[in-house]
Each structure stands twice: as structure tokens, then as C-alpha cells.
Amino acid sequence: MQSSESFEDEKNEAAVAVGLVKYPDNLNLKDLFYFLLAPTLCYELNFPRTARIRKRFLVKRLLEVVFGLNLVLALFQQWMIPSVTNSIDTFSTMDPIRITERLLKLAVPNHLIWLCFFYLSFHSFLNLMGELLQFADRNFYNDWWNANNISVFWSTWNMPVHMWAVRHVYIPITKRGHSKVVASIVVFFISAFFHEYLVSVPLQMFRIWAFLGMMAQPPLSVISRMAEIKLGPRWGNLIVWSSLILGQPLAIMMYYHDYALLHFTPAKL
């Protein structure tokens, strides 16, 4: 016990010697607000910091944010909304051919907006905040576009959330003796809950399309992994891109159909 306490004392003394923050000196509003604004979900006593703010880099990211927001807004208003609005009849008649046609038509603007929003959020905005706060860890995403299966995609496209899930959900569950499969399913369940929450609350209606879409990811991971092993990595990557291109517009069409039935009069449908 004494050796453990002396070891902690030595660690604290070493931290002070190199100017690092040690507990409980971190319990202050400055540290709290820095964590709330920093582009990370995992708290550390001492975040990696850069020596200075690069003004040219900062201006580039700021211009990207301004331009990206206007681009996404324009694409949404001029392309996305008309495509979604025109899909209501197809779900009302349940014509599979027309549903497929509308789905493919909606997939083009939806995927373009999703790619723009990804770049805007994970590259432009998070780097902007990181530069302002001199936050050195800029690993916000990896090469998810090369993912050979669904599992690789989910572990590379959103690194802040992935690291939080690994640290606070996945590892604690495996340490309790549960399998990695159980831990992964729990992670997807939590993600599915929040995906549905973020959709249901603004729309003021409870549907389970987003929840089911996320809970379909574990079996889809198995399928894409089998395709990768038996047919090659390109087929696994094809499944990843197919799920991205087709899954999102399908969910949008279903939510809009249900929302329109609840809030619009028959004359407006």
C-alpha cells in the first residue's frame, strides 16, 4: 500500500516537474470548458497541445466551413427536398418498381450531401476547433472509404465516437468477462438508441427505422466479412458503399412518408 502511494506521489511530482496538470488541480471551470469545446469525447488530464495557432491553416478551415454550410444548404433545398417530396406517392401505392426508382433518384443528392457534410464536420470544423484550442490530436477519421467490411467502416469513419465507445463501453464489458461479440452488440445498441433519439425527437414521432438500421449493422458486418474472405476485399468494400448509398435514402423516404401521414392533410400529400 505504501509503495503504491509513493509511486503515485512520484508520478505527481514528475507531472509537476514538466508542467503537467495533476488531479485534483484539473477540477476547475477552465479545464471543464476546454474539454467541452475540444474535438474529443474522451477526457484526459493532459491533452496533447500544439505550440502555436497556425493562422493560415485556421483561415482555410474557416472558409471551408462557411462555403461547406452554404453548399450543403443549397443542395438540400434545391435537390434533396424535391426528391424526398416526390417519393410520398411511391410509398402510398407500395409500387416496388417506383420505390426502387425513387430510391435511386434520392440516393444521388443524399450521398453527395452526406460526403460534403462529412468533410465539413470531420475535416473542416473539427480541425478548426482543434486549431483554435491548440489541440494536437487530429485523428478524427481514417480511410473509411477503403473499408473491406462494415466493422472496419464503423471503426474508422468517426474516430471521436469510436474511441469513446471503445473506452467507456467495449473495454469495460470485455473486462467483465463477456465476449467481444456481446460488447460489439451493446455498442451498436447504444448507437441505435441515440440515432433513433436524434430523429424521433425533432420529428415528434416515434418510429424505429433508424434503430433497426443500426441494429442491422452487426449481421451486415458478418455478411461483408464473409464476402471479403470468400470473394475478395473489393466485394466487401462494395457492400460497404452499397449500404451507405442505399440505406440512408431508404430511411429518409420511410420517415418522410410517416411524417407526412401524421402532419399533412390529404390535399397536401
* Known active-site residue 195: yes
CA-closest candidate to residue 42, choices 134, 159, 184: 159
**Is the C-alpha dihedral spanning 227, 245, 159, 154 positive or negative?**
negative
Active-site annotation holder among 123, 162, 195, 257: 195
CA distance 128 to 62: 7
Q: How many helices (H) and strands (E) does the chain have?
A: 14, 0
Give yes or no for a contact between 221 and 227, defined as CB atoms under 8 angstroms apart.
Answer: no
- H/E run at residue 75: helix 55-75
What values do phi and psi take at 49, rounded to 5?
-125, 150
CB neighbourhood size of 240 (10 A) = 27
Positions annotated as catalytic residues are: 195
